Structure 1
Amino acid sequence: MSSSNQSGVDSPFQLFDRAEWKGLNGHFSYHLTEDDVKNLHALNEPLNITEIEEVYFPLAHLLNIFIERTKEAHSVVNGFLQKNTQRLPFIIGIAGSVAVGKSTTARVLQKVLSMLPGKPKVDLVTTDGFLYPNSVLIDRNILNRKGFPESYDTKLLLGFLSAMKSGVEKIEVPMYSHLEYDIIKEEQQVVTKPDILIVEGINVLQVNSSRVNNVFVSDYFDYSIYVDAREADIMKWYVDRFESLRATSFQNPDSYFHRYADMNKQESVAMATNIWNEINRPNLHENILPTRYRADLILEKGSHHFVKQIKIRKI
């Protein structure tokens, strides 16, 4: 284990390689089936039982330590204040680039955390639902900047998180369709008294325009995770995913990207590469990557899409 970065300068993070990390599993044991694994992974993102056991079981154990500590603090403060206030959701933020695997990490964590002692209720909300509708983005001439900070209704997102941390029992949040590439007007996700809330999105740790009245999205997090990888690997995963989607969901006439359905592989790769270079790469460098070291924990992936090492902020 090392507590220094590659340059030898003292770091606020402790570094664990895969072998060290999997030995920290502790006493929790879970049972997941192959069907569970199939339901958790996303397109072009390999996932297996070994990855869950060696990476996510120890992570769930660590998170449970913080969750239990928060419960104890709530009880002690209630005693001091002579109040009997309800315990608020423990909120986990998950950030990282497009195509790095945030959604899979979020879904796996939701599943594993729901199997902790006491079987907590774990809800998952993605910030895609807080994007402005396409009609608004078109009016503002920023449709080609979807995913950049200005494309999100930050006020709405902060209002949701504030409600969660204010004890609101039930709240509806917008839902996003990747098929339609837009907010679904007639559907809402209902979040009702979760014990743990996972908020996943590329923008959740940003501090530039992701604030209202100097309140940041991350101010509401009890713990934050950044999913990281080499840019060359992320770009390859993005291009590969685009090609897979071209051959599958883009074939649906209702897909926003149906116009790409008849491309051959060479054209598809060229288009995906162009989108990456013009949109996703600038967003990564300007807005996402600078937030990496604001996280409490960093999952670093290798070229095979599996986690190879973990950095944990010292406390």
Structure 2
Amino acid sequence: MESECISPLGNSSGNHLSVQVPLKFPFIIGVAGGTASGKTTVCDKIISQLHDQRVVLVNQDAFYRSLSNEQLEKVHEYNFDHPGSCFLDAFDTELLLSCMKTLRHGRAVSIPNYDFKSHKSTEPSRLVNPSDVIILEGILVLQDFHVRDLMNMKIFVDTDSDLRLARRIQRDTVKRGRNIENVLDQYAKFVKPSFEEFILPSKKHADVIIPRGADNDVAIDLIVQHIRTKLGQHDLCKIYPNIFVIHSTFQIRGMHTLVRDTKTTKHDFVFYADRLIRLVVEHGLGHLPFTEKQIITPTGSVYTGVVFCKRLCGVSVIRSGESMENALRACCKGIKIGKILIHGEGKKGRQLVYEKLPSDIASRHVLLLDPVLASGNSAVKAISVLLGKGVAESNIIFLNLIAAPEGIHAVCQKFPRLKIVTSEIDASLNKDMRVIPGMGEFGDRYFGTG
């Protein structure tokens, strides 16, 4: 997924402060192939396996131009598979491009509803909401370079021509109310020549070719794995290999929805924040070193497992970081937890006000706890305190629920050997240095002091 910067708070008159906010684009997949090649079935299989993501399917067929009464009188002479010199004659590609660009920029759009029996677009149109993944499926979606340029992945479904013809006969006679003679005549006169002249050559633009169409489970599994990898990799993770964002699911997104909602009660905020914190802590513990160990199970069998790192402690940045202590104690029985209080901004910047740390902290791996990484100023100061106590930079794992790009840059550029584990990377900071979209003053909401 790519990103660009927008300025939601600025305007041409310059009356508002401009804040650069990275806009996340969806992962757009183009799926082309001959008529009845199994494109839709391939798309359905991809969608069913991406059950943890918001996925929407857009059919190029929806953008067929409505035929005039004059054209309807000669419908059997009309070629529905022929592109023009610039945009498709059969398809309203200008409208298709407009709709795809709207979705790409995170806005809902109305997609035409084309009726194959009347050869006209009918009401109501279909409202399509922005999604993480957009699949654009159609015979000619790889033929036009304007459409191709929008895609992150291009797929061509390659199926035997005899099988495609058999499927087309069944589809057009059963679902579209056409007689077999007209179907065969149209296939010979328009469909087959257009496939050979326009559709088949577009295969050269494909990143992935799927032989045997929807029957090729191995190819579909590989495609889904690639999409998951791309979706799970934030742009900042490509810059800083020491950032780890836990895999997003609908459960995690649902919890984020609740803790971010200004209408959520304190009780629910604490409940779902605690669930998210536990997930982050568990993920953070997975980055600790381990040693292998063989043990004997109650059945007398040998099991090869691992032993956790024992030299470990937590350090919470007062006061929001204290909300993460219970989850850490629940995962690590008897763990020592230290405290750091950072305060002030102004000319002197962030200053250490208070610290109470284990006396042997220099020999331990440290889980630094702070639910929100905003500007990074407090984090940088807290990490500097730990380094001053002799803690190795590579032994620090910084755990938070949300992180702003500005904070990530500040921490990772100064401390490239520590690890940051978070559940979501937010858009940016506003003029008040608050994370947006954010979740407000975390400490006040969690402890009920707002």
Instruction: Indicate whether the TM-score tops 0.5.
Output: yes
Partner of 2:159: 229
Counterpart CA distance in 2 for 1:307 and 1:124 is 20
Matched, 1:170 2:108: yes
Counterpart CA distance in 1 for 2:112 and 2:155 is 23
Partner of 1:39: none
Match of 2:92 among 153, 165, 179: 153
| Deviation, structure 1 residue 287 | 1.1
Matched, 1:138 2:71: yes
Matches within 5 A, 1:287-298: 287-298=198-209
Asked whether the equivalents of residues 103 and 129 of structure 2 are also in contact (C-alpha less than 8 Å), the reply is: no
Q: Deviations over 1:260-293 (max 9, x none)?
A: 3xxxxxxx3x543322111210110111000012
Aligned length: 205
Asked whether the equivalents of residues 301 and 308 of structure 1 are also in contact (C-alpha less than 8 Å), the reply is: no
| Deviation, structure 1 residue 308 | 8.2
Counterpart CA distance in 1 for 2:73 and 2:207 is 35
Matches within 5 A, 1:41-120: 70=1, 74=3, 83-113=20-50, 115=51, 119-120=52-53
Asked whether the equivalents of residues 224 and 295 of structure 1 are also in contact (C-alpha less than 8 Å), the reply is: yes
| Deviation, structure 1 residue 91 | 0.6
Counterpart CA distance in 1 for 2:96 and 2:195 is 21
Counterpart CA distance in 2 for 1:181 and 1:225 is 30
Asked whether the equivalents of residues 108 and 129 of structure 2 are also in contact (C-alpha less than 8 Å), the reply is: yes
Counterpart CA distance in 2 for 1:107 and 1:308 is 12
From the superposition, tell whether residues 123 and 293 of structure 1 become closer, same or farther in structure 2 (CA, over 3 Å): same
Give the TM-score, by structure 2 length.
0.41
- For structure 1, the residue ranges without an aligned partner over 5 or more in a row are 1-69, 208-214, 261-267
Partner of 2:216: 307
Partner of 2:124: 187
Counterpart CA distance in 2 for 1:297 and 1:175 is 29
From the superposition, tell whether residues 137 and 131 of structure 1 become closer, same or farther in structure 2 (CA, over 3 Å): farther
| Deviation, structure 1 residue 172 | 0.8
SS in 2 for 1:86: strand
Asked whether the equivalents of residues 125 and 198 of structure 1 are also in contact (C-alpha less than 8 Å), the reply is: yes
Q: Deviations over 1:76-113 (max 9, x none)?
A: x89xxx83223111111100011111111112212222
Counterpart CA distance in 1 for 2:55 and 2:118 is 26
Partner of 1:123: 56
SS in 2 for 1:278: helix
| Deviation, structure 1 residue 190 | 1.1
| Deviation, structure 1 residue 164 | 2.5
| Deviation, structure 1 residue 181 | 4.3
Counterpart CA distance in 2 for 1:112 and 1:100 is 20
Partner of 2:147: 217
Counterpart CA distance in 1 for 2:27 and 2:67 is 32
Structure with higher helix content: 1
Counterpart CA distance in 2 for 1:218 and 1:120 is 23
- For structure 2, the residue ranges without an aligned partner over 5 or more in a row are 7-18, 84-88, 224-450
From the superposition, tell whether residues 206 and 137 of structure 1 become closer, same or farther in structure 2 (CA, over 3 Å): farther
Give the TM-score, by structure 1 length.
0.57
Counterpart CA distance in 1 for 2:218 and 2:55 is 26
Counterpart CA distance in 2 for 1:163 and 1:181 is 28
Partner of 1:40: none
Identity %: 25
From the superposition, tell whether residues 237 and 216 of structure 1 become closer, same or farther in structure 2 (CA, over 3 Å): same
For the pair shown, which has the larger CA radius of gyration, 1 or 2? 2
SS in 1 for 2:23: coil
Which amino acid in the other structure matches residue 188 of structure 1?
Answer: S
| Deviation, structure 1 residue 196 | 0.7
Asked whether the equivalents of residues 128 and 175 of structure 1 are also in contact (C-alpha less than 8 Å), the reply is: no
Higher RCO, 1 vs 2 (CA within 8 Å, ≥6 residues apart): 1
From the superposition, tell whether residues 182 and 272 of structure 1 become closer, same or farther in structure 2 (CA, over 3 Å): closer
